[in-house]
Amino acid sequence: MKIRFYANLEKPEAAECAAALSTRARELGLKPVERGAADAVVALGGDGTILRAVHEFPETPVLGFNLGGLGYLAAVGRDDFESALAALAAGRYSVAERRMLKVVKAGASAAVALNDVVLSREMSGRSVRIDLSADGREVTSYLADGLIFATPTGSTAYSLSAGGPVLLPDSSCLVVTPMNPHALGVRPIVIRDDVRFVAVARARTPGNPVRIGVYADGALAMEMGEGDSVSVSRADVSARFVELEGYDPYDVLARKLGWSGSSVK
């Protein structure tokens, strides 16, 4: 089995860790490669490293080794690196498909995202109005700092920080989370993932400039001005993740989000 180590070299220990794991991988019968096709990518870093690996190697299953902090996507902790390689070598794993989103604007290149598509105000102190429709039906007009369209995978990222719900990775839905909305009744919505959203940028008041950045997995993909629209829908492609034998999404949630039951005695 050919594997590629993809390290976040901004982390001082990443290169050294990759070299050590490469040696151990050979001892286990795996074949580390630096170029050409691989059967799996082992991403060494945090969630940002894994997102970059997903985009750089779109057809290859990714396994995340956590060298960062929370590392929700990087499910394998430092103490389990060698046992994870052993499971990989022994074939004790499966490959899971994760839904992705596509954002399209007329005249601009489409972008895809594993975690989220974010429409964010680009002018400090100025909220924006975003008219949202779903499959041609009006949802509402948001007055907020922006909107987050998150996949189940991305529901534990920016959307969660903005007050959105947690979705399990295999959920057939996505969440739309407003960022600092100007109305208490405006809350995140969960909707099936085959819906096509259209978002239109509006000025808060007539004559005020509008500048909205459209980000796909944290990278600026395009910008919106007054009257510009983008569509957000499920992408035709998906991300592929290695899930080792015994993988339990509930266990990952409990460990990464610090769920430990009630503190009431």
Model confidence pLDDT, tens digit, residues 166-198: 999 999 999 999 999 988 889 999 999 999 999
Nearest to 53 by CA among 18, 24, 87: 18
Q: List residues with catalytic annotation.
A: 47
Q: How far is CA 137 from CA 86, 146, 198, in A?
A: 51, 20, 10
The SS3 call for residue 245 is: coil
The tens digit of pLDDT for each residue in 134-174 reads: 999 999 999 999 999 999 999 999 999 999 999 999 999 99
Nearest to 101 by CA among 52, 137, 150: 150
| Cα(156)–Cα(145) distance, integer angstroms | 20
CB 223 within 8 A of CB 123: no
**pLDDT of 265 higher than 80:** no
The tens digit of pLDDT for each residue in 43-77 reads: 998 888 999 999 999 989 999 998 876 677 887 88
Instruction: Name the token pair of 153.
Output: 């995978």
CB 157 within 8 A of CB 72: yes
Instruction: Output the CA angle 103-111-228, nearest 5 degrees.
Output: 45
The position carrying tokens 């074949």 is: 31
> What domains are there in the chain, each with its CATH number?
2-92+245-257 (3.40.50.10330), 100-236 (2.60.200.30)
